[in-house]
Amino acid sequence: MIKVAAFVPLKLNSRRLPNKNFLRLGNYPLAYHVFNTLLTVESVDSVFCYTSQPQVLSLLPSNVELLMRPRHLDGDGVKANELFLYAVENIDADIIVLCHATGPFIGADSINKGIQAVLSGKYDCAFAVQKHQTYSWFMDKPLNYDPTNMEQTQDLAPIFCETSGFYIFRKDNYLKSGSRIGATPFMVEVDVRESIDIDEPADFNLASHMFSYNPHVTSYSRDTFFVDLANQSSQHKNISHVSFDLDGVLIDSIELMDESWAYAMKIMDLRYPFSEYKKRIGMPFLEILKSMGVDKKYYAEIEELYNRYSAENIDKIKKFMSINDGLKRLKSVGIKISLVTSKNKDRTSEIMSRHFDKDIFEAIITPADIPSERGKPNPDPILLACVQLGVDPYNTLYVGDMEVDREASKRAGTHFVYANWGYGDLTKVKDVWFNCFDDLVEFIVS
């Protein structure tokens, strides 16, 4: 069985930031954090503190083991490979993980990803890197772009910089080469917080501020991030009309959609996956079938079965939180609201009567209402809502959760807001988005 062990070199004194390994970060010494993380990595069998001062173990998690470091290896003149070699020689393991106390935020998932890469046999080592995709120079020359023919930054070849967060390698390879980097390395990209390495006082100050920072949170309050649609230009000063998609924006119907689709497929003994249907939510039903490549001879029966199951189980549809109160608030400040959906007219009417106050929407557009019979992503249904309410598309905001919604809005000439609580994933293209309905309403009203 392959054995994996991790070690962290640790000493009391340091030159640039005295006693940095034991400065208070949160409720523990700086050094505590990386050991605590390593103990949570299931693929790591043993975690060693590599030190000549065993008393420091009292400040670390209880399961950390001691690897005594000879005093002569404490000197500032000792080279890194000399320091690491002693530890590697004296650790009984096939794969070794080297971490540093100065990287307190390195994540267990990142470490495990590196270990799995080495265990696979495809790579002989792994290490943490931070990706930089910007105009870069090295030795007074541009490194990844041509200044006379500049590309946009998202199209540049990225630069990957080692972070010192961790190095993972096979023991026998290190003993042969004396290097923690092998011939076939695997780079594990880490986020800005994980990449922090503390050498200077300024680094520790940054780490203290970043202690509670979560780089994966994408919800922003209105006072920290928003694109002010209402003031982009003189012609867009007033949003007087907000139009909403239905499924995924006002109601949560994905479970019933899945069940209705499965019911139709089972009855007809077909194998078209719901995952493909889900990608096309927002289009008229028959257009979804056409886009999926379903044989036209099945259209009518699939639609009948799907609609029957949906109608019989309509109680499974839930309304997202705060919808009615938010709609009332929009109307209270004089904003007209409409509904533009690809759901059929009968089911739309039943959902409206069950879940929404009467006359809350001043226009309701379903595929049956469109003379051209062109549903989303065509602009016709949104434009029809504007015509019925007598408002200019430039003063209209369309709220949707799928790419077809965004495309229809763009082609209609209206503004678009992405409902991040819905079913789509517009992370690469969204301009304005909100994670909850309350925030959206607050933005519009304010």
* Structure tokens, 353: 């009567």
- The total of other beta-carbon atoms located within 10 Å of residue 5's CB is 22
pLDDT tens digits for range 222-254? 443 334 443 443 333 478 999 999 999 999 999
Band (194; pLDDT cuts 50, 70, 90): very high
**Which of 116-130, 357-371, 416-430 is the least confident region?**
416-430
Which secondary-structure segment (H or E) carries 47? Answer: strand 46-51
Return the active site residues: 245
The reported pLDDT for the residue numbered 247 is: 95
**How many angstroms separate the CA atoms of 420 and 425, rounded?**
8
* Structure tokens, 392: 């200019």
Q: Locate tokens 């400065």: which residue?
A: 23
The reported pLDDT for the residue numbered 235 is: 38
Q: Compute φ and ψ for 36, nearest 5 degrees.
A: -60, -40
**Closest among 123, 129, 128 to 185, alpha carbons compared:** 123
* β-strand partners of 212: none
* Helix/strand/coil for 168: strand
**Is the overall model pTM greater than 0.75, yes or no?**
no
DSSP assignment of 20-77 equals GGGSEETTEEHHHHHHHHHTT-TT--EEEEEES-GGGGGGS-TTPEEEE--GGG-STT
The reported pLDDT for the residue numbered 223 is: 43
Report the relative pairing of strands 137-138 and 141-142 from DSSP bridges.
antiparallel
Sign of CA dihedral 264, 266, 269, 273: positive
| Cis peptide preceding 377, ω within 30 of 0 | yes
Instruction: Provide, rounded to the nearest whole percent, the portion of the chain with pLDDT above 70.
Output: 92
**How many angstroms separate the CA atoms of 206 and 199, rounded?**
11
Instruction: Provide, rounded to the nearest whole percent, the portion of the chain with pLDDT above 90.
Output: 68
Report the relative pairing of strands 4-9 and 46-51 from DSSP bridges.
parallel
pLDDT tens digits for range 317-367? 999 888 999 999 999 999 999 999 999 999 999 999 999 988 899 999 999
